[in-house]
Amino acid sequence: MRYQHVCVEALAYSLPPQVVTSAEIESRLASVYERLALPEGRLELMTGIRERRFWDRGTTPGSLSAQTAELALAAAGFDRSHYGFLAHGSVCRDQLEPATASGVHQALSLPQSAFVLDVSNACLGLLNGMIMLANMIELGQVRAGLIVGTETGRDLVEATIDSLLENPRLTRQDVKLAFASLTIGSGSAAIVLCDRKLSRTGHRFLGGACQADTSSHRLCAGGIESETHGDSRPRMQTDSEALLQAGVQLAEQTWQETKRVLGWTNSHVDKAFTHQVGRAHRRLLYERLGLDTRLDFSTVEFLGNTGAAALPLTAALGIERGHVQTGDRVAFLGIGSGLNSIMLGLDW
């Protein structure tokens, strides 16, 4: 994928109000830790996550996405009549049907002629949306568009805690499979792409590559099993170690293809942003890609794993805090369960 006419005009984010520490989660699981002789501090020690954030109970992803999208539209600054595309790309959405994007579109008063849809691909939904929109801009079908998504991790984390507490036959292996669920946080991110002729910033979206390893699609799986658990909250099981190794291997392949497509070497990369999983993932990913961790900007320590919002949210924060300078070549290094990997290049 190579683009000549696409710019990243704005990135925006919203953060939830409630902070929940890893120590607080472990205090709720004290009886489980005692029964299985698990050491305190294990959650933060293994992941590097000291806290994550949650939205207020009952808040819908779509309503939050509309708020974040408004921030992105304001930052872009051009008339809404130019927007011909809106995708909602988070794992979390308001309902199965209609698309959560429909409610967001109505709240934003975007043109009736716009393409409006949800994009679902685990932690890569917003990056998939970027590619779809960039293709349409490059073809001249639309002049500008918006990708937005909001993850609401509270239900998954609290449901996982309750399931662990309520299982009288709980084993260390059960805890291991549920462990990744306790790293989940919440957040919201939005991205505006536009035609180069419309852009005021000139931040070029150069293109990138994607790769899939669907033989690993069972390593992380989540959903709602009301008959098993007795409620409608989601649950997830993750083979974290196997997922780490398979994900990084796929990322290495994707990075090689991305460099070939963009004509880059590692020395071309000035800054990088990744999906926020944990300390071990970050270290191994950069080691395998041959990139210096000093290029990275990390939010996992205080936001946890915010799903499909993680990478663009982190990029928005990093840009806001001066991690990226004008003229930097920026890499988006995305991996999602499935397994899929998307890696993109930007010229800031």
Closest to 342 in 3D by CA, of 71, 160, 111, 89: 89
CB of 86 within 8 A of CB of 102? no
Quote the pTM value: 0.93
Return the DSSP state at 78: S
pLDDT reported for residue 162: 92
* pLDDT in the model for residue 316: 98
- Mean pLDDT per 10-residue run, the chain (348 residues)? 97 97 95 91 92 95 98 96 97 93 97 96 95 98 98 92 90 87 95 97 97 80 60 68 78 96 97 92 93 96 96 97 96 91 97
Tell me, what amino acid is at 13?
A: Y
pLDDT of residue 279: 87
Report the catalytic residues.
97, 123
Domains and CATH numbers, the chain: 204-347 (3.40.47.10)
Residue 164's pLDDT is what? 92
* Best CA proximity match to 160, nearest among 177, 139, 135: 177
**Contact between residue 178 and residue 299 where contact means Cβ atoms under 8 Å apart:** no
Q: 69: which 2 tokens?
A: 């999208």
Closest to 240 measured CA to CA, from 287, 193, 191, 180: 180
Residue whose token pair is 């995708």: 87
